[in-house]
Each structure stands twice: as structure tokens, then as C-alpha cells.
Amino acid sequence: MPDPGFSRPQPSLPAAAARPHIHTHAAGSAAAGEALPTKSPLPGPPSVHAGEGAAAVRPSSPAELRHANPAVVTQSSPALERILRGPSGLGTTGLHLARREEVPVPAVSPEPEAPDEGKPIPGLYHHPVPEPDPARVEEVSRRIKAWAVDEVEMYPPEWEDQFDGFSTGRYMVACHPDAPTVEHVMLAARLMVAENAVDDCYCEDHGGSPVGLGGRLLLAHTALDPLHTTKDYAPGWVESLGSDAPRRAYRSAMEYFVQKATPSQADRFRHDMARLHMGYLAEAAWAETDHMPEVWEYLAMRQFNNFRPCPTLTDSVGGYELPADLHARPDMQRVIALAGNATTIVNDLYSYTKELKSPGRHLNLPVVIAEREGISDRDAYLKAVEVHNDLMHEFESESAAVAAACPVPSVLRFLRGVAVWLDGNHYWHQTNTYRYSLPDFW
Ligand SMILES: CC(C)=CCC/C(C)=C(/C)COP(=O)(O)OP(=O)(O)O
Ligand SMILES: [Mg+2]
């Protein structure tokens, strides 16, 4: 088993001293283009009251909210367009929700991350997305590799193919089409890579194990949620943050994130990561005792061992904030949970054959349904597709209900951002034929 510490530990700098500076590389960063598309089919007539901050734009159906998704828009709504574009005129630059930089095209382009066309799962309810901006994909791919190699020494040379095959750039650009700059996308990209380093190196197939996982996860969590202790005991903790790749990655990715995010966005992220770690622990505990959960128990575990921390930072990556009190609304929490669950079951379905081949018994929804409900692998897989579709439909209708109940711009944009993230996540799973292949059930 490779050692997740890989190379030498980083010097034990206090976190603040080690804080990196963000370079936005904003060639023509002065609003080279609008962050958001200029078309949306949200129905009129919305009322936009100058000075109220809460413009009323009511989608009248889940489909309409869905189509406010910048990645799939087909019609126009001047009001939503106006809200998303922000005010215009002298002195209003700082009021824009988001402006989008243009990425300079290098004179000699490195090999782009061209997707091999994978097929979508037959019958899976999803929304196709346009091909992510190739210039952005290339730039995020370049920056994320430089970060992983040079800043956090994340993987040994023999893992380079797997790192490249993950296609972080294509993934994150597809999930965050409204990010105003490449550096905003990088906030999500670093965290995505760090989360996968922890999953692979602590929990799964790159040296991970359920044994002792709780201790490892808790200590790694302190890279996100720092230890506050006495001066005698602080240095040991600071040193530990550089002692393996997952902790170096968490610490660095979080340092970049807190520089751009508001305190409440950072706190939201820490909470979501604590949820994720709790999910990893339940999965590990069941692996240790060879427990086959009931289907509902599996779904409960997977609600925590879940992509949730990724879509919930859509506002930080978009350069705006969903205020904490609106994020905390029970109806918003339900939308977020449904979104996380649907998008995580997408992983269970696309990674099904990969997980069947992995050592031991890897739990995923089709496997648990087959075992617990005594049906064939094929029927269980098709039933898991239905579970996913039900979750997606529920997510969309609850999302439209929140939009109608609380039609403020940050809520609408956040809901759209979450929906777009789900579409991008599906796109990435579908097209990542390096990692995933479909079973032969059709
Ligand atoms: C938040 C985040 C990106 C965590 C990574 C792990 C996770 C919670 C997933 C939803 C991915 O699932 P899984 O570990 O099954 O991934 P693969 O199937 O191995 O791609
Ligand atoms: Mg999986």
C-alpha cells in the first residue's frame, strides 16, 4: 500500500504564516465578459424594486426554475437577466453579482482534456449541459496540477495518470459555469481534489482502511476547523498538518477558500465536511463488522457520505453569498439534502462496475437493493435508477417551491447554482470513461 504521506512533510509553519496569496491571472480582468448568460426563460412579469435588494422573480413550475439554469437556458427573461447581470452605468461596477474574466489562450496549447463520449445511463433523468468552456478547462487543469504537485506534494509520480484521468478541470468548469474568474473555479477544484485525497488515502483504495479511520479523519478535520489550544500543544498540531498529503491538501485548499468566502460560508463548509466525515465513519464501521444495511439505512449513510460540500459552495465560487439565515431555512435544507442525495446516487450508478471490481464488498445502492430485496443485480440497478429519478424530481419541485416562497436574487441564483452543479456532476460521470463504465443491463 502506498503511504499517503508520499514525500517529505511540509515545514511546520503556523497556518497564518503559510497562507498563500491568490493570483487571479485575470487577463483583461476588467469585466471581459458577463458572468452569466443573457438568456433565461423565467416568466415575467417579475417586479424589481430598486433599493429593496429582494427582486421578486417567481418561477411558476419546477421546469421554469430548472431552465433558469445558465447551462441549459433556451429562452429569455429580461428581468432575471437584469438581476443576474447587475446594475449598469457609472459607478456600479462593484455592485455586480459577477463578472467573468476571459482566459488567455496560450500560444502553444497543452493537450486539452478531451472527453471520450460516454453514454448516459438509459432511463436516468438528467439534463445535458453544453461542453464546458475549453479555455477555462485547460487553465484550471494546468493550475490544479501545479497546486497538487508544487504546493501540496499530493501524489507520487506513479499516480499522475489517475490524477489526470480524474479530469478535475473539466469537472469543475462544468459544475460552475457562472464563476466570475478561473481563480473562483480553483476554490472548488482544490477542495474537490483534497476531498478525494482524503477519501482515497484514508478510506479507500490508495492506502485507506476502516481501521483507525476515526482518528485520522478527526485530525484531518482540524485542517479545516483549526485546533485552538495552549502554546505548548499548538506546535505539534501545526506540524501534523504537513505530515501527509490529505492534510496538506485540506489545509491549503481551505486557506484559499477562507480568503474568498465569508465567515458564514466557511462555517457552512466546515459543517458540511463534518457531515461527510460522519458518513465515511458509518460506512467504515459497517465494513468492519460486515454489516449489510437496510436500503433506508444505506440511504441515510449516503446522505452524509455525499457530494453535499460541493454544490453548497456554489455561491462562494459564483462570487456572491446566500445569507446564512436563508441557507438555514428548513425548506432550503431539504432542497440541499435532496440535491446531494440525487447527485450522489449518480455516482453509485456510474461507479457500479468499478466498485464491483474493487477488493471486498463495496456498498452502493444497487448492491444493497439486490442484497436486501432479494432481486437480480439488473433489477436492483434499474430500481436504483428509479430512486435517483424520484430524488431528482423531488429536488426540482421543492426547489421551485423555495424559489416561489423566497424569491430573492441570492436564493434564486443559489438554487440555479445547485441545479447546474448536479447537471455538471452528471456530465462528468457520464463522460469520464477513464474511471467509469456502464454495466451490460440493456
Ligand atoms: C465531497 C467529495 C467530493 C467526496 C468524495 C467522495 C464522495 C463523498 C463521493 C460521493 C464519491 O463517491 P465514491 O467514493 O463512491 O467515488 P467513486 O465511485 O470511487 O468515484
Ligand atoms: Mg462510487
Residue 368 has pLDDT above 60, yes or no: yes
More confident residue, 179 or 53: 179
Nearest CA to 88 out of 57, 50, 41, 40 is that of 50
What is the CA(192)–ligand 1 centre distance, in A? 10
Q: What is the pLDDT of residue 101?
A: 65
Residue 29 has pLDDT above 80, yes or no: no
Alpha helices in 17-167 (DSSP H): 62-67, 78-85, 134-146, 160-166
* Ligand showing the shortest atom-to-Cα distance for residue 304: 1
Residue 269 has pLDDT above 70, yes or no: yes
Instruction: Please give the number of the atom of ligand 1 that sits closest to the Cα of 351.
Output: 18
Instruction: Please give the number of the atom of ligand 1 that sits closest to the Cα of 355.
Output: 18
H/E element holding 99?
strand 99-100
Q: Residue 52 to residues 48, 49, 95, 342, 408: CA-CA distances in angstroms?
A: 8, 6, 14, 35, 10
- Whether 195 lines ligand 1, by a CB cut-off of 6 Å, is yes
Q: What is the pLDDT of residue 109?
A: 45
Residue 294 has pLDDT above 90, yes or no: yes
Average pLDDT over residues 264-285: 97
What is the CA(356)–ligand 2 centre distance, in A? 10
What the block records as the C-alpha cell of 279 is 458518513
Query: Could you give the ipTM of this predicted complex?
Result: 0.99
More confident residue, 1 or 264: 264
Q: Which of 201, 283, 307, 430 is the pocket-test mutation for ligand 1 (most atoms within 8 Å of CB)? A: 307
* Close Cβ partners of 129 (under 8 Å, ≥ 6 residues apart): 71, 72, 174, 177, 420, 423, 424, 426, 427
Q: Among 211-220, 235-244, 403-412, 419-428, which stretch is predicted with the lowest mean pLDDT?
A: 211-220
Place of cell 442484497: 371
If you average pLDDT over every residue of the chain, what do you get? 80
100 forms bridges with which residues in the sheet? Answer: 33
pTM passes above 0.90: no
Residue 285 has pLDDT above 50, yes or no: yes
More confident residue, 103 or 215: 215
Other C-beta atoms lying within 10 Å of the C-beta of residue 119: 11
pLDDT digits (tens, 9 = 90+) for 56-95: 333 434 444 444 433 333 333 333 343 333 333 333 233 2
Backbone torsions φ then ψ of 75, nearest 5 degrees: -130, -175
Q: What is the pLDDT of residue 174?
A: 98
What is the CA(287)–ligand 2 centre distance, in A? 15
CB 366 within 8 A of CB 386: no
34 forms bridges with which residues in the sheet? Answer: 99
Q: What is the pLDDT of residue 56?
A: 30
Task: Evaluate the omega torsion of the peptide bond into residue 104 and state whether it is cis, within 30 degrees of 0.
Answer: no
Domains and CATH numbers, the chain: 22-35+53-101+123-431 (1.10.600.10)
Q: Among 22-31, 163-172, 210-219, 417-426, which stretch is predicted with the lowest mean pLDDT?
A: 22-31
List, as one string, the DSSP characters of 340-399: HHHHHHHHHHHTHHHHHHSSS----HHHHHHHHHT--HHHHHHHHHHHHHHHHHHHHHHH
- Report the C-alpha gap between 429 and 432 in whole angstroms: 5
CB 175 within 8 A of CB 420: yes
For ligand 1, atom 12: residue with the closest CA: 347
Alpha helices in 147-262 (DSSP H): 160-166, 168-175, 182-198, 213-221, 234-240, 245-260
- Whether 276 lines ligand 1, by a CB cut-off of 6 Å, is yes
- Report the C-alpha gap between 383 and 205 in whole angstroms: 28
Assign 3-class secondary structure to 390-410: HHHHHHHHHHHHHHHHCCCHH
Q: What is the pLDDT of residue 208?
A: 75
More confident residue, 225 or 116: 225
What is the CA(112)–ligand 1 centre distance, in A? 25
Average pLDDT over residues 417-421: 98
